[in-house]
Amino acid sequence: MVKEIENQERESESESEGTEEKLSTEPLKNAIYNSEALLEKIKDIAWPKKIDWIHKLTIHHQPMEKIDVNDDLAHELAFYTQALERRHLSLTLQRIAFSEEQGSPAADHQGP
């Protein structure tokens, strides 16, 4: 019984290996793309130009100053500081009271 199961597993593995060879992740060199339809689809699924921040929740940041790539502590500190600044901005945009001393939203806040 065990040998039969092992044989079946080997057969299914060999069958699946044959189909994997036929699939390719590279684009076809002779493929024809309908550029107009593709651009129309991109416009169809794109975010509207004017949308409230709460629907996207994106926060942009200023480029970080140049930091020595070998100075891990300076790199981590810059990343941490940037994350804190962006968190504060996001809480402000959501109109959530922020306590600098505690580093967290005010305790009396019940949500947006």
The full set of domain ranges for the chain reads 2-105
Q: Is this structure's pTM higher than 0.85?
A: no
**What 3-state class would DSSP assign to 99?**
strand
Q: What is the pLDDT of residues 61-103, one digit of tens each?
A: 777 778 888 999 998 998 898 888 888 888 888 888 777 655 5
Tokens found for residue 24: 């390719």
Closest-CA residue to 57 (of 67, 47, 46, 71):
47
